[in-house]
A and B are shown apart, each in its own frame.
Chain A
Amino acid sequence: MSESVQAASAAPLMAELQSPVLVSGGCVIAHVTQVSELNSPWPIDPTVRLGPERTRRLDPLSQFSLLAVELARHHAGLDRPEPGQRHADEGVSVGTAFGATTTSVRYARRLVKAGPAGTNPIDFPDSIDGAPAAHISLDISLCGPSLTFTDGPASSASALLFAARTVASGRANRMHVVIGDVLDPVFLEALAAGLSPVNYIAQAVCALVVERRGLREVPAHTTELFGYSKGSRIALSEPAPEQSALVEAPFSPTPICDPSGVLDLAGAWLGAVGPMGNLVGTWQHEAGRMHVFPNGSHGFCAGSGANACLLFANPHRPSGNS
């Protein structure tokens, strides 16, 4: 089934239903380099933007995550919270394929070279996959659910879906979604080992603010997170190209807003993210590239690996207009 057919069949339902889950702001910090320039610096230095106090000793993934959340909140029209102001109804959901690689490598290298006596107690807790989520919660005092998905290339969809469901179920009013990988040279070199010097490798950190409809007057650029479907092709016979794998995958489409409005999303491929435009991307370490979605009124996105598919909609869409 083609992408256009999918979108067309979904459109009438989308016009009638209203999702309780909004994406009110976002930010992508990306660093795309040729293999021949693997260790070139990122375009932004989070330690300069955030200051040394907030970034000291943190893994680069945590540093970029803090910056991305700050920029996404700004885009969503949210100020930095006052110090000491705790938010029990706000949480964080992180998706990362590799986690805090720089700190992990530093800790493991010292362990290999000098044994237990050579390790640094500061590095160990920062080496866990959940460290970026912890630092975000600490930085802006988020006391709601905090979770990290290590789902490989499907991490982005997993993190966003968890946030959406947490908001839709009323367990939080606002979730901060961070998706990203910032790789230590050890991992970059491993990734580049099978590539030509002219191939590109992308690293990125993306943040989204997901919140409950009605919480406040939201910015005009807000997008509805409309529905999703999930499935696994891992256990299904032969490896297949992504698109046919999606078609074959046993999706169980379930819109967040209304179980009666089941959408047929099987076979959906990368698509648009409504007026969010270029704000959502998925870091795909398998393919070694990053997808950025063009503008549109509604569309789909899916992680490479095809374990999840998300459907976005423009909340300002005219009724019945596909």
Chain B
Amino acid sequence: MSKPSISVTSVGVVTALGVGADGLFRGLLAGQRAICPVAGFGVEGCRATLSAEVSCALPSDCDSRTAALSVVALSDALKGLPGLGDLRRVGLVFGSAGAGTAVLEGHLAGDVTAAALLKHYTKRRVVDELSMRFGLAGPLHAINTACSSGAVAVSIAVDWLQYGECDVAIALAADELGRFTFTGFHALRAMDPEPCRPFDRNRRGLTMGEGAGCLILERSDDAKRRGCTNHGYVRSVGLACDAHHLTAPDPEGIGPARALTRAIESGGIQPEDVGFINAHGTGTQLNDAAEVASIERALSTHAPRCPIHSVKSSIGHCMGAAGAIEAVVTLCSLEQQLVPPTAGLLDCEFSDRVTCVKDYPMRVQADYALSNSFGFGGNDAAILFAHSRTAGNAHP
């Protein structure tokens, strides 16, 4: 029995480039970089002091900054819909890597009570808050696969729809810039003191960011019946694990390649059908090299011709939210057939192996695109999106 095709009927996003997918995409096409000195907390003693912080106004009645970012992204997504329908049939899967750590830090500093620690430490708290605020009464999940959480959230949302567990599935991921995580990456010496330069020969690490991304998914037939816009299809999602090291990627890129190949195969396309790739592209020496190796493994002879780009030199690495935010960017690219440049990329180390888009946007003719997300623990995820002009329902 073939599975129903899944449409993205609306998206919402908040990053250091502001609220909304249109503004984000315009900024990326223009090569904007929203990277500034950290303002939200003290970074004395850190080698890197830059980040991409959200500066727009956030709701003041939320339990945490992560919840506030989530509310903004979800509210933004809801603007593009004729409503959510029966709220008992609306599910929410929430991904985050670092939510709750500020509460623990506050408790140990004597600023947060024991009761508040128990209440606000778990990521589930954000889900419950969103559920109550928006009246969502379908299935709920909070997940954490580190920096691939947003992409994995999309995978679970697709599952829900294909198994009939809900009629509207919200895949949302958010992470706030916090001292716990910032200093953690500092301790690992993974951060570039300057704005990060993914795929550049002189790259020295990542720049942290924050934000939230939200994709509203529906079975395509239902979406059409409801009069929703189809921004594209989630054709498939490939998940895999490196089983190599807790933090370092497998230099041969075997795990990410497996995720890419699974997405391509279960999406029923050939490697040469991939029109471009939104790369994970953190700007660390190890990640970028491993990612290029994985693209070569998965796309074979098509790899040198397939454009890739990273948004992290514009909006920073938004941790658990990155996968969802970059999924939104990938959909924008597919819709407009434009791949944004990788800001700050001057001298691509891999120019003979892949086509890194730099300096200017690249015009493409793409029916399919991949969005890569990798995380600590060797968590690898690749989402295959299809343009709304394609059939969309070729799930095996």
Contact = CB atoms under 8 A, between A and B. Distances in A.
Interface in A131-177: 131, 133-135, 137-138, 141-152, 154-155, 158, 162, 165, 169, 171
Interface in A93-134: 97-99, 104-105, 107-109, 111-112, 115-117, 119-121, 124-131, 133-134
Given A98-B121, A232-B136, A254-B164, A128 B242 contact: no
Nearest to A58: B246
Contacts of A234: 128, 131-132, 136-137, 140
B138 A231 contact: yes
A103 to B, nearest CB: 11
A146 B145 contact: yes
Contacts of B188: 121, 124-125
B107 A186 contact: yes
Interface string A67-96: 000000000000000000010100110000
A64 B361 CA distance: 50
Contacts of B376: 125, 128, 130-131, 134
Nearest to A158: B141
Nearest to B376: A125
A143 B258 contact: yes
B371 to A, nearest CB: 17
A125 B248 CA distance: 11
Contacts of A107: 180, 184
B243 A141 contact: yes
Interface in B178-226: 179-180, 183-189
B8 interface: no
A147 B377 contact: no
Nearest to B137: A235
Interface stretch (B58-66, B108-116, B293-301, B331-339): B108-116
Contacts of A108: 101, 104-105, 108, 180
Nearest to A121: B187
Chain A contact patch, size range: 35 or more
B245 A138 contact: yes
Interface of A: 86, 88, 91-92, 97-99, 104-105, 107-109, 111-112, 115-117, 119-121, 124-131, 133-135, 137-138, 141-152, 154-155, 158, 162, 165, 169, 171, 186-187, 189-191, 193-194, 230-236, 250, 252, 254, 259, 285, 307-308
Interface of B: 43-46, 87-89, 97, 101, 104-105, 107-109, 114-115, 117-118, 121-125, 127-128, 131-132, 134-146, 152, 156, 159, 163-166, 179-180, 183-189, 239-247, 254-255, 258, 262, 375-379
A-B complex: 9 closest residue pairs judged by Cβ atoms: A134-B377, A124-B184, A190-B114, A250-B88, A152-B124, A121-B187, A129-B144, A146-B241, A145-B239
